[in-house]
Chains A and B, each alone.
Chain A
Amino acid sequence: MLVYGLINSAVLALMALGFNLTFGISGVANFAYGAIYVVSGFLTWTLINHLGLPYALSAILTIGIIGVFGGLIYKFIIRRIRGLVISEVIATFGISIVILEFLRYVGFIGFKYSLPVFIKGSVEIFDTYVDIQRLLIIAFGIFLITGLYLFTHHTKIGLAFRGIAQEEHTSLSLGINPDRIAGWSMGMGSALGALAAIVILPLGTITVDSGYDVLISALSVCIVGGLGSTFGVIIASFIIGYAQTITATYVSAHWTMIVSLVAILIILAIKPSGLLGHQKELEERV
């Protein structure tokens, strides 16, 4: 339970990091995130199976293409409505539906779409066999979080990210272009979603409908952790991940579906800004 709870938490954290990054920097809740995750899986599958590219190259290309795609979504759609929260949600959710239904329309149906695991086989940990791909998910989670920390604290663009996140108008006066940085954050968030898809999807199959599930998982982790807080996302992933595993072990797998929703309800009742979120925190205190 300990091992699989940890893996489940890492899966949730990976799914949520991209969504959280975009929201934390630009304030845009990217409801197309689940669709971007799914389209990344199908794109990698297509590059491998139709163009015959090596797995590693397909993965790198996918992350790059999806990153650019995310940036373009910002440039051509979101930039015009940025700050209008309802419009942002409607626009990104609309994009999500268009992407997912387009994938369905062009024939991505059935069970045959799956990415190969990075390394085959399983290892025994505490008398439990765990496949290596799941362990790699934990490794990628740690790598991503460390990488994000270093990026936002030690690179020029990363510091600009933090500047916009902290105080957009002041950043503007220091020569940081908020629109450009927000576009970058959307692109990077999308690329992180693609990376999560490439690491997680080898565990199962790629399906159009999973886009909605991924969005709900990412949303619940971000709401519980506090929108925009990376550390909050990590804590929330552990809380929800272990809560789901404990529920499946001691109650019934049937009830795992409501764990994240119950977590959202509890956090909204107690601390609407989330565990470590800063959105509306001032209003809460007042």
Chain B
Amino acid sequence: MMNRMVLCLFFATIFFLSICPASAQQYITLGVPTSLKLIEGYEGHKAAQLAIEEINAKGGVKVGNEKRLLKIEALDIRDGEPGVPTSEALLGIEKLILDKKIYATVVGNFRSEALLAAMDIFSKYKIINIGTIAMTPKFQEKVLSNPEKYKYSFRNCLDSRYLAGYIQNMMKHVSSQFGYNKVFIATQDVLWASATGSMMEKWFKDNGWTVAGFDKYPVGATDFSAGLMKAKSAGVQVILPIFDMPTSGILVKQWKSMKIPALMAGFISPLMGTKAWKTFGEDIDGLMNVVFEIGYFPVKAYPPTVKFSEAYMKRWKEDIQSGHGAAPAYDTVYVLVNAIEKAGTLDPDKVVKALQETDMVGVVGRIKFDKGHQLIFGDDPKTAAVGAVFQWQKGTMAVVWPNSIASAKIVKPSWMK
């Protein structure tokens, strides 16, 4: 009797083990190689996971005649952290491809140089990569330099050229409402921020503005009083900040405590989300921030953002804090699924062709890629993906531009005449 039981258990185990790989094959695995400890990576991963759960709840993705479920394999490649070499990030990506047999990657690299180097790996293994964080325009240039080789790489988020365009639109909007034309630029002393600052300096000069100063602050700076005093004594009407370091919130606090009579309008990453108000409170009232992609907070004029924000909150019990990456990561999964279903196969070459023809409604607006596989941005979510400008107004993030989704007008800080 005992022997028979042991034999039964043995065959049951063999049977179980034999069916396991078969059921594992039912999944299409998406890799999330990114900096999971940084806010954009952390939230991008969660947003992609949310999309996958929604799709799986509806039975999965239809590949030809069968339905397949999706799953995520995330790996913290830390390429957004200082001192981590690009080679380490690339090893992480290759590990995901070879060990986890991923079909595609989403979210992806932080650092531009890591993205550009990874594109060769994606081509080598024919892995579809739809990134939502790194922003270098060199990406499109590389795709266009050899469209056949780099056809597997797409970017479903803003790039730095579009960012500069949005800041310019914000300044035009400020100028049209108040007639301002004197600005002080303050940026973080890192390549992307100072390059955007220089680009804006040129634009200001070409468009009749006076640039009263351009200060670059080292990472970790905690005192901005000297720059603010310079701005005040020069009589500027607008201060353009471009920062993503955690201590940059101090700039806005000092702007308020020193009562600098100028609008603060630009990009300060730590002040993008609802927790910024909880952290800094009224100190940041009046700050105008550029949103890279809409969707991370509800914009009433565009219902998909409301639906996504609520779903994210319900699933993860917290709202999104980063104005970059999360909504696009969510959209990316749907874009990929849409392409797979359209192609009717998992053949990467056929799916890439379907991706190139993408035209669908997403959380960030209408999703279409240009020839360089870059998501096309505009100022109306019905026609293109959209960024925005919001102003902190008594604890709410009031969208002041573009007009297609704006809910408020710019309000000057109380100490400004």
Contacts and interface: CB of A to CB of B under 8 A. Distances in A.
B216 A109 contact: no
A239 B258 CA distance: 24
B275 A249 contact: no
B276 A253 contact: no
Contacts of A245: 223, 225-226
Nearest to B227: A253
Contacts of A122: 257-259
B227, B279, B280: residue with the most chain A Cβ atoms closer than 10 Å:
B279
A128 to B, nearest CB: 7
Contacts of B225: 4, 7, 245
Most buried by A among B254, B275, B280: B254
A249 B249 contact: no
Contacts of B38: 109
A249 B218 contact: no
B258 A204 contact: no
A46 to B, nearest CB: 15
A207 B246 contact: yes
A213 interface: yes
Contacts of A244: 223
B39 A111 contact: yes
B37 interface: yes
Interface in B231-248: 246-247
B145 interface: no
Contacts of A203: 222, 250, 253
B81 to A, nearest CB: 9
Contacts of B278: 112
A130 B223 contact: no
Nearest to A258: B218
Contacts of A131: 253-254, 257-258
Contacts of B254: 131
Given A203-B250, A204-B250, A254 B257 contact: no
Residue among A1, A112, A131 facing the most chain B CB atoms (10 A cut-off): A112
Contacts of B37: 104, 109
A209 interface: yes
A252 B247 contact: no
Contact of B246 (A7, A111, A256): A111
B186 to A, nearest CB: 8
A245 B278 CA distance: 31
A43 to B, nearest CB: 17
B217 A129 contact: no
A207 B39 contact: no
Contacts of A7: 223, 225
Contacts of B220: 209-210, 213
* Prevailing SS type, chain B contact patch: helix
Contacts of A104: 37
A258 to B, nearest CB: 9
Interface string A18-59: 000000000000000000000000000000000000000000
Interface string A236-267: 00000000110011001110110000000000
Interface residues of B, number: 40
B218 A129 contact: no
B253 A111 contact: no
Contact of B215 (A110, A112, A129, A253): A253
Most-contacted residue by chain B among A11, A244, A248, A253 (CB, 10 A): A253
A114 interface: yes
B360 interface: no
Contacts of A190: none
A8 interface: yes
A111 B217 contact: no
Contacts of A213: 220
A7 B221 CA distance: 14
Contacts of B269: 111
B209 to A, nearest CB: 21
B221 A253 contact: yes
Given A204-B222, A253-B215, A129 B258 contact: yes
A205 interface: yes
B223 A109 contact: no
B321 interface: yes
B258 A128 contact: yes
A109 B41 CA distance: 12
Nearest to B186: A253
Given A109-B39, A109-B42, A128-B229, A205 B249 contact: yes
Interface in B248-271: 249-250, 253-254, 257-259, 269-271
A189 to B, nearest CB: 22
Contacts of A121: 257
Nearest to A247: B226
22 contacts: A4-B223, A4-B226, A4-B229, A104-B37, A109-B37, A110-B321, A112-B321, A114-B280, A203-B253, A205-B250, A210-B246, A213-B220, A248-B215, A248-B227, A249-B226, A249-B230, A253-B216, A253-B218, A254-B215, A254-B216, A254-B217, A257-B189
Interface of A: 1, 4, 7-8, 11, 104, 109-114, 121-122, 128-131, 203-205, 207, 209-210, 213, 244-245, 248-249, 252-254, 256-257
5 residue pairs, one from A and one from B, having the closest CB atoms: A111-B270, A248-B226, A131-B257, A257-B218, A204-B250
